[in-house]
Amino acid sequence: MNIQIRGDHHLDVTPALKQYVEKKMGRMERYLEASQVHDVSVTMSVTRGVHTVEVMIPLGQALLRAEERSDDMYASVDLVMDKLEKQLEKYRHRMGQKVSRRLKVEGGKAKTRVNQIGMDELAEEDEPDVVRVKRFDMKPMDVSEAIMQMDLLGHDFFVFANAEDEKTSVVYRRRNGQFGLIQAL
């Protein structure tokens, strides 16, 4: 497993901190097959005394991501690893259920391995019920108009047709009160 640890432009990752993260990531290996994970990304930052750690683990079709914040970087690492451990256990459990169902269907012959099952198949089994559908016409508008519309509606996000390229875009309110924009390719 290749662990890429980096700090933002305000933070230099010390060798001790890097070693601590690598030790904690070693716990995750018991949940994963060696062939499943190649690169793990760990990003650390400090903003106004709040220490943030974000970890992303690509698992074939799935991407596990966890982020935690605290007053201490080592505590943030511990918190994010606990969160990832729960996510990985849940992922492994769902994958195991999918394999056992498949084995029953195929007469007990193991033709597939856990890490070869796509997330599309998992989605079929855990598909949530849609309780409300909204349809609306999207008139082209610029980003500032979309933000104003989102505020008028009292929502945290707003889907609109971007006037610049006429593609579907989403504006959303971030945790810090600023705005984000998601653009379709």
Q: How, if at all, do strands 2-7 and 39-47 pair?
A: parallel
pLDDT top residue among 110 and 14:
14
CATH fold, domain 140-183, is: SHC Adaptor Protein (3.30.505)
Q: Which pLDDT belongs to residue 65?
A: 84
User: Is the per-residue pLDDT at 53 higher than 80?
Assistant: yes
Q: Which pLDDT belongs to residue 168?
A: 92
Task: Supply the Cα-derived Rg of the chain in whole angstroms.
Answer: 21
Residue 175: what are its φ and ψ, rounded to 5°?
A: -60, -35
Spell out the alpha helix ranges (H) of the chain. Answer: 15-26, 73-105, 119-125, 143-153
Task: Select 2-89's CATH number: 3.40.1690.10, 3.30.160.100, 3.40.50.720, 3.40.50.280.
Answer: 3.30.160.100
Q: Which pLDDT belongs to residue 20?
A: 92
Sequence ranges of the domains in the chain: 2-89, 140-183
CB contact set of 61 (below 8 Å; sequence gap of 6+): 118, 119, 120
Residue 31 is given by DSSP the state: G
Angstrom distance (rounded) from CA 167 to CA 141? 11
User: Is the per-residue pLDDT at 70 higher than 50?
Assistant: yes
Quick one: average pLDDT of 55-59? Answer: 83
- The most confident of 109-118, 128-137, 161-170, by mean pLDDT: 161-170
pLDDT tens digits, 19-29: 998 888 887 77
pLDDT tens digits, 87-132: 888 877 776 655 454 445 455 444 434 444 444 444 445 567 787 8
CATH topology identical between 2-89 and 140-183: no
Q: Report whether 67 contacts 51 (CB < 8 A).
A: no
Q: Taking all residues of the chain, what is their mean pLDDT, rounded to a whole number?
A: 78
CB contact set of 2 (below 8 Å; sequence gap of 6+): 38, 39, 40
Q: Which pLDDT belongs to residue 114?
A: 40
CB contact set of 24 (below 8 Å; sequence gap of 6+): 77, 78, 81
Map tokens 């974000």 to a residue: 54
Quick one: average pLDDT of 71-87? Answer: 90
User: Angle, to 10 degrees, between the axis of helix 15-26 and the axis of helix 73-105?
Assistant: 20
Q: Which pLDDT belongs to residue 109?
A: 45
